[in-house]
Amino acid sequence: IAEAEATLRSARAWFREVAEDAWRTFLDDGALDTETQALITLTSVHAAQAAVRATDMLYAIAGTSPAMGRSEFGRAWRDAHVVSQHILLSSQNYDGIGAALARA
């Protein structure tokens, strides 16, 4: 449980840091450079993937209860996996984000 918590909190903190920096930059400059745009995408993808890892960690210790009936945890596990498959949050984005950061 502690590892899942750390996984989520660190992803959330990094996302907020990048979002706040991007917002300040946008207010000052009226636009975001390529690196900042790539970091926003990267932190979004990372947060979605961290949610999957965290729910997988908890699922592993929960036994069969998440798979039974209308378990709230089972629903959260399914939701995390579905969201992480969205084209904007998929781990397949890491290649493009890495290329954008390399060019920045």
Separation of alpha carbons 104 and 89, rounded Å: 21
Q: DSSP string of 2-64?
A: HHHHHHHHHHHHHHHHHHHHHHHHHHHHSS--HHHHHHHHHHHHHHHHHHHHHHHHHHHHHTT
- Burial (CB < 10 A; 0-12, 13-18, 19+), residue 82, is exposed
What would you report as the CA-atom Rg of the chain, rounded to the nearest whole angstrom? 16
pTM: predicted TM-score of the whole model, two decimal places: 0.85
- Is the pLDDT assigned to residue 66 strictly greater than 90? no
Mean pLDDT for all residues in the chain: 92
Please write the tens of the pLDDT for every residue from 3-50: 999 999 999 999 999 999 999 999 999 999 999 999 999 999 999 999
- Report the SS3 class of residue 87: coil
